[in-house]
Each structure stands twice: as structure tokens, then as C-alpha cells.
Structure 1
Amino acid sequence: MLVGLWSGLAGAEAAAWHGELALGQWSFDASGQVRDTSDQVDFTDLSNEGNGQSYFRLGASPPGRWWPDVLLERQGLQAGATGQTDGALILPGSTGTARADFDLTALSLTLPLITEGVRLGLGVMIENVDGLVTRQEDGEAAQTDRYDETYPLALLRADVAPFGPITLRVEAAYVESGADRAIHARGSLLWPVIAPLGLEFGLQSRRYRFTTSNYAVDAEFRGGYMGMLLKF
């Protein structure tokens, strides 16, 4: 009898696990600037250099209130800008370009504070930004700095399901250290059309301000995304 009771409890606990897998495309607009700190050159009006970037997300929500939700994400960013250089490499007033190309990997741990009606959690996002900032003047070789940093962001996430299986999710994350700063905001609609398969739609903004050896980057990437969703 005790064995049967234990098996029933274990089965109920296992059934309380929830997970999600999403694959999609983020079509964003880029804005901001790259500043060459050695030559004091600004490359303003950053813009997206492609049709968007793909993204991947894998998440799990364990049973119980005192175990954190876990979310792993990966996506890319690209942006470029032009500017009038100071002639340090060739003629004064020549045209130069700056380009930022990054891969983002983030692991989020969110402890659910409220689970009735809305799943509201507070946690931390550990994000790695890895990529290149490149400057090139017409006819000259490119000058490239690598940026590879990992830092924690304070994270707030809320899930609410006002329309049956459809979930609305709102997230915000922030960190600032000295002159460096990262701010993220995202709103999503997760829709299991034919469970467990479905779609997701959303809007996202990611803002970064950081300095490499020769460049200061202050940029925002903002736009909508859509993907395939598996909820299990």
C-alpha cells in the first residue's frame, strides 16, 4: 500500500513538469552608434544588415514553488553604420563603415513568487555576448576588436493564461556596471494551436552599451519575432 501511494505521488509530481521548445526568426531594426575611441570617429544611425536573425529557446518549469524555472536561449545580432572618418588612414573626409556582429547565449533562472492565476517570477539571466566590432575605411584593411563578456541581469517574468491554453508572457532584465549597461524587454504570445505544437509571436527590445579596446558601442535592437512552438 505504501509503495502504491509513493508511486502515485511520484507520478503526480512528474506530471507537474512543463517544458517548451521554440525555433523562429527575429526581424529587428537597429539604431545607435559605434564610436572609434582612438580616432574619435562616430558611426551613427546603425541599421540592420540582414532580414533578421534566427533564435532558439528551451525551457523547463519544475513542480513545486521553490524550484526555479530554467530557460536557455540563443540568437544572433548584426548591425552596420557609415561615417566620415578623420583621415587617419587615408584622405580626410573619406567614407568608413563600422559593423557589429554578435551571438547571444542566455541562461535564465526564475523563482516563481506567485503561481495562482499568474506565474510571476524573479531571477537572474546569465548572458554571454560574443562577437566582433569592425571598422573599415575605403580601400584599407579592416580593424577588428573582439568582444566576449558574460554578465548577470536581474530578471522579472510573468506568465498569464487569460484565453485557455494561450499564454501571455512579459519579461524585463537589467544590469549596469560603470559605463556598461544592458536592458532587455519582451512580450510574447504562446499559442498551442494543436497541442503540443503551436506558434508564438512577440516584440523584443535589447539595448547594449559597452566598450571594447578601440570602440564604444551604444545600440538598440527592436522588432517582432515569430516561431514554431512545442509545449510539453
Structure 2
Amino acid sequence: MRRWLLVVGVALSNLGCASQPTPAPAMSGEAWREAQRELAALQSDFAPTAGTLRVRVRMTATGHDVVMSGRGAIAQRPPNDLRMVLLGPGGMTALDLLVRGDQWRFAIPARDQLWTSEQTSKPPRGLPVSFLRWWLLQPLSGRLLSAHQGPGGTVFVLREGDATVRVQHRGDGLRMDRKSPSGTERMEVSGTGCSHAVYEHVEGRIRVAVQCEEAVEGVEERAFEAR
């Protein structure tokens, strides 16, 4: 746990100015309409649903050993709410993340550590808030800018707020690269539903791998209540 806190501190100290994303060229005609149809099909296939995932999580950082690993659960209610709780030795809560719309709260109860959206508008690098929002709440929510054929299939370029996102369908899963003023993020998802996801923040040198072990439909309101 100390190593994990150290990496969070390193990530905070390495905050820098990332280059502004460059939008891809516009499209027109039948190619544009076909890209829209193909993207709509992906959005339908990967549309998140309310439920609870039993997960195994592993977080690492370049130059360090394993920073944090554990099992727990993620409750999700798209498009705005999620809760992730991971357990440590003895069944104690090692990590508690709550996201409700633009508001978020990240706690490590055993060390009395707490970060919230009231302290900073954007989560610091090293906290998996952006990753979980991206994967479980709004994975393909951007506006289509363009598309082109890559070696593995169609590559879509989306605009999502201040970020430019490149999306490619790979087998049953997705590969996504997002560039914004906060840096470069990458995510690979093995498939729809209960799947495996790997997230990287390039500048923060953070890697988070989540393996879903079981999915349960539906979620109760109390899952999103602050404790």
C-alpha cells in the first residue's frame, strides 16, 4: 500500500502540459455514412448496463514492483454512477471509489487518505477515476470526426470534450487511444460484458488491469451512497 501511495505522489509531481490533440480530417459521402453505421453498431454492442462486477485488479507503475492488487466489486449504473471497493488482508476495505456524475470520492480508509472532486476538478494521475468512467460508463460517447481503414479494420476518430479518441475494433474487443491536455491514455478491452480491460496513462506511467470474474445484473441505490 505504501508503494501505491508513493506512485500516486510521483504521478502528482509529474503533472505537465500535454500537447493539444489534432482532429482528424472530415469525411463526406457514402464513406461517412458507412462509418456512422459501423460506429453505431459498436456503440450498441458495447453499451454499458447497470450491474455489479466481481473483479480482480492489479495496478503497477514503471520502475516499481506491483503497487496494488486485490479483489472486490464494481457497481455501475450508466451513464453517471459507479462504485469500486477493493478488499485487503483480513477483508478490510483497501480502496473505495465513488463516482456520481462529475463528482467523485477516492478513499484509502486504512490510511485515512481521501481525494475528492471538491479538492480538484480533475482526478490526479494515478487515481483510476478516468479509466473506470471511460470503460464502464461512457466507452464510445464521443462525436465522430472521421474514419479510415487500418491494418486491423476501421479506425474511428472521435471528439470527446477536450479529448481526441482513436478507436479500433480488434477481434471481440476494442483498442482506444485518447489524447487531451491531461495526457495520453490507452485502453484495451477484451470484449463486451464481463471482460478484461487494461488501461495505461503514458505520462503518469500508470497501468491498471481489471479482470472481471463474474457479472450480476441490476444494482441497488445503496451501492452509490457515501460511507
| Structure ranking higher in helix proportion | 2
For normalisation by structure 1, the TM-score amounts to 0.37
For normalisation by structure 2, the TM-score amounts to 0.38
| Structure ranking higher in strand proportion | 1
